[in-house]
A and B are shown apart, each in its own frame.
Chain A
Amino acid sequence: MSGCRVNVDAPEVAIREIRIGSITGFEGTAGQLVQCARAGKLRENKRTFSQCMGCSSGNAFCQLSMIQDAAMVNHAPVGCAGDFFAFNFVYRVGQMERKLPPVMGRYFSTNIEEKDTIFGAVQKLEATIREAYARVKPKAIFVTTSCASGIIGDDVESVTDRLSEELGIPVVACFCEGFKSKIWTTGFDSAYHAIVRKIVKPPRRKTNKINIINFWGSDVFTDLLGPLGYEPEYIVPFSTVEKLEHIAEAAATIQICPTLGSYLGAALEQVYGVPEIKAPLAYGLAGTDAWLRELGKVLGKAAEVESIIAAEKEKILPQLEAYRAKLQGKSAYVTAGAAHGHALLALLRELGLQVQGAAIFHHDPVYDNGDPRSDMLAHTVKTYGDIPNYNVCNKQAFELVNILHRVRPDLLIARHGGMTLWGAKLGIPTLLIGDEHLGFGYQGLLRYAERILETLDNREFVTNLAKHSTMPYTRWWLDQDPYTFLGGCAHGNVD
């Protein structure tokens, strides 16, 4: 499949369910899921009972709110601005780590009220954009939408177009109404769509920069790319509007997690010809080998990359063996977003852990680049064997508790807030790692192994917590099949 999924003429990006056929409900094995997806037989199963999830607007905000010289306007009731401070906190921690001076993110809520839902809130939006401009003098203003603004039908695109003209800076609409998609990562796509449509300029020349689409992770790429003659350009958080204008000039784009960057990576390639590295992620030995070789090929540095691979592997193999020996016989369960979760499964298997299953928040049968080489789950299954108890589940804690209650792994690995508690309450050592780069590459294997050992070793807290915690789930529920509310797996047969 190489169909172009990027259409920068449309104000709104098509949601993932429609664009690439992503789903949020599946039970089976990882191998079955990969087969189903390849055969085009995935279909969405609906849960009749559900718990609260994230929404697109949060994920759009997560990327746009940390552009250093932009301001944000959230066109919504004030409750939708509840994540402003949390992202501001992340932003400031990142500033600290990057030795940037501490500054507040400049975020504005249009504060939609009852009367606005009757008369429309377009004037309010205009006034807020003007005021944001007056206070901040930003290089760009991003406007994120909400369920309320979407349902009352405010014409946000025409307001932003008009004010771009008036203020002389890009005022960019980012459509991310929560109700539009069950897959909150659609919000990333909305943010990137806004950037590619209204900020990125056609390339003037090629540079030695390599785009790295990431969150807030530590800098592991300067060391890797420097010897090859390239420089990392981390996008989007901590970027500037001017830097974003020129990302089409980069030599290549690297995905730290295609769940995050599927759309932006493909858009830069499809619209501006920036090659995207299409390979499994650099987690585990096989993944890292394949990923580095692809990088070498794209950059025309195949020989240099081979010597890096050889040298690095020689360095880490003895240590890796030592970790494998210590971790032998330990079991783990993973809950995380899609591609990063698939990468963690590979990493755990590489370290010799027995993986008892995973609750992964959604599944993209294909990424926007359409290239099966990027399919991280397929790579994991092919390299390390099938994973049982593979559940696609958009952060439904009740299912996770039910499964953990049965499976009782030695270790729970979580990537998202709100999930670790359930391991700990059951007395299972639980690890959440915020830095998405920690497990990256050969060294990442060792770094991760060290953290796992530390977690397994440190049982006092969870043991005591488990002794004293309450459980809000009924006995009845813990005795049911974990997929009771999923209504059975209705995916097609692929035999």
Chain B
Amino acid sequence: MATLIEQPRFSCALGAQQTVVAIKRAVPIVHAGPGCSVKIASLIGQGEGYAGGSTIPCTNASEQEIVFGGENRLRQVIEGAFQVIDADLFVVLTGCTSDIVGDDVGQVTREFQALGKPIVFAETGGFKSNNYVSHERVVRAIIEQYVERHAEPRQGKIKNMVNLFATIPYQDPFWNGNLIELKRILEGIGLQVNTLFGVDSAGIKEWLTIPHAEFNILISAWPGVDLVKSLQERYGTPYYHFPYLPIGGVETSRFLRGLVDFAQLDRDRAEAFIKKEEEKFYSYIERTADFLLEFRYGLPRRFYTILDATYATGFAKFLLNELGILPAKQYIIDDTPVEHQERIREQFRHISELRSAEVVFSIDGGLIQEEIGAEKPQHRSLILGSGWERDLAREIQADLLPVGPPLTYRLVLHCGYAGYNGGLRAIEDIYDRVLDTYK
């Protein structure tokens, strides 16, 4: 089967430049052709950040570097970056040009590491993988080449400290808001949380404490699984894996209770927190239930998701179990490796106690739209997808909430859909769009 992509929703391996941009005062140095960084930011950027976008140092490889190699050019740009850019960590990332011609980027970077400079490298030539995969590679590079060397040596773990690895910054447009809420609820049950990315993180200082965490939390369908496994091997840190984004009351409480069992945390304290949060969450739902039951002019009754596995599963469980919207076909667009597909299917097989949903794995948005369009849904539908779904939504008269990139038709600052607060926000956003269709 051809692996062409119409309507791309993720980037190439070099897309992990945004992983670096998401770390406070960390800056990518891109050893690639001109244009790569700009295209990545164009799809998943959502703003320059501290030093992303047009600030990113880049070798802008030209014919000369292709023919004669680009190591000297890279050396110059790294030297310049240390002089010009005020940052705590630099991450050298390769692109197609340097990986095909075979520049020894590791060697160049090690020269600077030997001088004690805060710099690491990762091979992220565009063709090597996509940014779901390379995100993990870049995080590992930082841990193995920087944290490993600079972390304070210490006996034993810091009690109740955890590292949180969740959705991929920028590939998940709501990454920052999600981290804020996840940190809030984890603190609510008594943990001290390294979010590592975003405004609520202490930046590189926080990364240096990664080895001291008591355990790691991974909230993700499949990206990051190898990362937490490698940290278990490296630092003996056990991990708690929750395979989708917990949205709303049911799943957020399930997430927290699972964690309490896993880590044998103070159950009374956790239950007290969960009780208070659920009370608040359901008081809003209860207050609004009459709207959901009585609105006479039509609300969506079926939903399609065209999202990555972490989001698709999270939203499907939430929409069905807490809002009563039924799943139509679920499309997962993150190029899920085959070995993870069955576990994800299994989630949808038991999406509620009564129901299962059909899952299709495809990276070709054009094909997905053709399929949904041909179904001509009879009921008012809700599509959770991206900006690419605009015409499809109009064609089948569905309500569209863009959740995955390219987002373009909405601006995201600190909005998130994780947790109790994220669930409420999701309800607001969905019905805001639905009600807006009435003139």
Inter-chain contact A152/B80, CB cutoff 8 Å? no
- CB–CB B80/A179 < 8 A: no
Contact between chains at A78 and B130 (CB < 8 Å): yes
Q: Does B81 contact A (CB under 8 A)?
A: yes
A79 with B54: CB separation less than 8 A: no
Contact A109 B5 (CB under 8 A): yes
Partner of B96, one of A51, A83, A146: A146
**Residue pair A151, B101 in contact (C-beta under 8 Å):** yes
Checking B40, B127, B129, B370 against A116 with a beta-carbon cut-off of 8 angstroms, the contacting residue is B127
What is the chain B residue whose CB lies nearest that of A121? B127
Complex alpha-carbon distance, A131 and B394, angstroms: 25
Tell me if A135 and B370 are in contact (CB < 8 A). Answer: yes
A54 and B38 alpha carbons, distance in the complex (Å)? 6
Contact B50 A472 (CB under 8 A): yes
A418 neighbours in B (Cβ, 8 Å): 38, 48, 53-54
Query: Any chain A CB within 8 A of the CB of B84?
Result: yes
Closest A residue to B77 by beta carbon equals A49
Q: Give Cα A113 to B44, complex, Å.
A: 20
* Interface flag for A106 (CB, 8 Å): yes
**B54 lies within 8 A of A111 (CB):** no
B 382-416 binary contact with A (CB < 8 Å = 1; else 0)? 00000110110010000000000010100000000
Contact B86 A471 (CB under 8 A): yes
What's the minimum C-beta distance from B83 to chain A, rounded to whole angstroms?
Answer: 6
**Identity of the chain A residue whose Cβ is nearest the Cβ of B78 in the assembled complex:** A49
CB contacts between A and B, total, < 8 Å = 235
| A260 located at the interface, meaning its Cβ lies under 8 Å from any Cβ of chain B in the complex | no
Contact of A148 among B7, B40, B126 (CB under 8 A): B126
Is the beta-carbon distance between B6 and A135 smaller than 8 angstroms? yes
Q: Are B63 and A180 in contact (CB under 8 A)?
A: yes
Give the number of residues in B that approach A within 8 Å (Cβ atoms): 74
A108 and B35 in contact, given A179-B65, A418-B53 (Cβ under 8 angstroms)? no
Task: Report whether A112 and B127 are in contact in the complex, using a CB–CB cutoff of 8 Å.
Answer: yes
Most chain A beta-carbon contacts within 10 A, residue among B44, B55, B77: B55
Q: In this assembly, does B230 line the interface, its C-beta being within 8 Å of a C-beta of chain A?
A: no
Which one of B8-16, B266-274, B321-329 is at the interface?
B8-16
**CB–CB A397/B54 < 8 A:** yes
A477 near B84 (CB under 8 angstroms)?
Answer: yes
B2 touches A179 (CB 8 A): no
Q: How far is the CB of A25 from chain B (nearest CB, A)?
A: 12
Instruction: Select B14's contact among A50, A53, A79, A103, beta carbons within 8 Å.
Output: A79
Contacts of A421 in B (CB 8 A): 48, 54
Complex CA distance for A397 and B56, rounded to whole angstroms: 9
On whether the beta carbons of A477 and B43 are closer than 8 Å, the reply is no
A77 lies within 8 A of B12 (CB): yes
Residues on B with beta carbons closer than 8 Å to the beta carbon of A323: none
> Nearest-CB distance from A350 to chain B (Å)?
30
Instruction: Flag whether B58 is at the interface (Cβ < 8 A).
Output: yes
Q: Are A82 and B40 in contact (CB under 8 A)?
A: yes
Any chain B CB within 8 A of the CB of A261? no
Of the candidates B6, B127, B390, the one having the most CB atoms from chain A within 10 angstroms of its own CB is: B127
Q: Does A52 contact B (CB under 8 A)?
A: yes
- Name the CB-closest residue of B to A398: B84
Q: How many whole Å from A122's CB to the nearest CB in chain B?
A: 13
A35 to chain B, nearest CB (A): 28
A112 to B125, CA, bound (A): 11
Stretch at the interface among A84-92, A214-222, A450-458: A84-92
Complex contact B39–A79 (CB within 8 A): yes
Say yes or no for B42: interface residue by CB 8 A criterion: yes
Give A82 to B32 CA distance when docked, in angstroms: 15
A78 to B364 alpha-carbon distance, docked (Å) = 11
Question: For chain A residues 68-109, which have a beta carbon within 8 Å of chain B?
Answer: 76-86, 89, 102-104, 106-109
Residues of B within 8 A of A147 (CB): 32-33, 61, 95-97
- Asked if A79 contacts B33 (CB within 8 A), the reply is no
The 8 Å CB contact of A52, one of B30, B44, B66, is B30
Partner of B55, one of A77, A135, A472: A472
Residues from chain B with a CB closer than 8 A to the CB of A151 are 66, 96-97, 100-101
Q: Does B36 contact A (CB under 8 A)?
A: yes
B50, A184: Cβ atoms closer than 8 Å: no
Bound form: Cα–Cα A395–B59 in Å = 14
Flag whether B288 is at the interface (Cβ < 8 A). Answer: no
Known: A79-B12, A108-B6, A179-B63. A49 touches B35 (CB 8 A): no
Contact A50 B11 (CB under 8 A): no
The interface bits of chain B over 114-152 (1 if a CB of A lies within 8 angstroms of the residue's CB, else 0) are: 000000000000111110000000000000000000000
- Interface membership of chain B positions 179-218, coded 1 if the CB is closer than 8 angstroms to chain A and 0 otherwise: 0000000000000000000000000000000000000000
- List B contacts of A114 (CB < 8 A): 127-129
Given contacts A113-B3, A474-B85, contact A179 B62 (CB under 8 A): yes
For residue B299, CB closer than 8 A to chain A, the reply is no
Q: Which B residue's beta carbon lies closest to that of A180?
A: B63
How far is A127 from B36 in the complex, measured between Cα atoms in Å? 25
A473 to B366, Cβ gap below 8 A?
Answer: no
In Å, the complex CA distance between A125 and B83 comes to 43
A52 touches B56 (CB 8 A): yes
Taking Cβ atoms with an 8 Å cutoff, the residues of A that contact B are 48-58, 76-86, 89, 102-104, 106-114, 116-117, 124, 127-128, 131-132, 135, 146-148, 151-152, 177-182, 184, 395, 397-398, 418-419, 421, 470-477, 485
Q: Which 6 A-B pairs have the closest CB atoms?
A: A55-B35, A49-B80, A79-B12, A82-B39, A418-B54, A85-B406
17 contacts between A and B (CB under 8 A): A50-B60, A50-B80, A51-B58, A77-B12, A77-B127, A79-B15, A79-B40, A80-B12, A86-B43, A104-B388, A108-B5, A109-B6, A181-B62, A397-B55, A472-B87, A476-B83, A476-B84
Contacts A50-B57, A107-B7, A113-B127 known; 7 new A-B pairs at CB < 8 A:
A53-B58, A79-B40, A80-B126, A86-B43, A147-B95, A147-B96, A151-B100
